[in-house]
Amino acid sequence: MWTSKTGDYALLRPRYTARLGGLRGVACSVGEDTGLLDGGIPHYSCGGVYLPASHSVKVGEAVRLGETLIGRVTRLQASMAYFRGTPLSIHVNQTRLRGVSLYLFLSDRHTIKILPTTTRELPLQCGDSVSLSLTART
């Protein structure tokens, strides 16, 4: 659901989030583990995944959001796996986006930022329900 928007971006409250320790965010898989995404896909070309302390992640493993490959782990540091992004197409409903920025939150008032390809306003109203889709580009 949209929470606010400007010509440059819109904030979206995701329907599904996960909690890991005291943090909440959008869940992803890294190898056999599950973590929380932090970063901009694909516009930053990189990001991080906050992992449980007992993770088994290794450099080179796939980072997936749902079934879509969004990157590969390039570096590990404590409970963070840093990844390099892969080419993606992202749409909200039928509108192509430049990217999605994901954050870790301490509270239940979490949002993600969606960035349109141009600075024109997205053709949606605050409060609308939307569908976000990711497709790997080859």
**Structural domain boundaries in the chain:** 1-119
Q: CA separation (Å) from 13 to 29, 40, 55, 110, 132?
A: 20, 16, 28, 6, 11
Whole-structure pTM over 0.85, yes or no?
yes
Give residue-wise pLDDT tens across range 48-81. 999 998 999 999 999 999 999 999 999 999 999 9
pLDDT on residue 7: 65
Q: Residue with structure tokens 């190898």? A: 31
